[in-house]
Amino acid sequence: MSILEKYTNAISNKDESTMNELLHDEFKFTMHKSGNTIGKADVIKWAMSGDINQEKKRVVYENDEVGIHHSIVTFNDGNVEAVMAVYKYKDGKIVSLETGATPMSK
């Protein structure tokens, strides 16, 4: 199973242990829609909250250095976005994540 498959499964299953193993200690998540950047602990806390509900998940591309993932995400506040995510890997773990999101009708 690829890193991205493990990561999206960990979010879906609220598997904090696996997320902790997959995210590098230097991990940074940049959300281009808001301009915010958050670290490993905050991403894990957010994922464990159940706010990230992904559908139509697919790995667009992945190798040992990068991964590209697309999904439709519904958040607990009812917002729905098409999210394209680019992951960079270091030491076999996710070291950075950048997303671009397009709002979709609810």
Q: What average pLDDT does the chain have? A: 95
pLDDT tens per residue, range 94-103: 999 999 999 9
CA distance 10 to 21: 10
pTM, rounded to two decimals? 0.91
Q: Which fold has domain 3-104?
A: Nuclear Transport Factor 2; Chain: A, (3.10.450)
Q: Give the H/E segment covering residue 101.
A: strand 93-104
pLDDT tens per residue, range 22-36: 999 999 999 887 889
Task: Say which DSSP state 19 is in.
Answer: H
Band (pLDDT 50/70/90 cuts) for residue 51 is very high
CA distance 106 to 96: 29
Mean pLDDT of all residues in 4-21: 96
Which structure tokens are listed for 8? 């999206």
Looking at residue 31, its pLDDT comes to 85
CA distance 64 to 67: 8
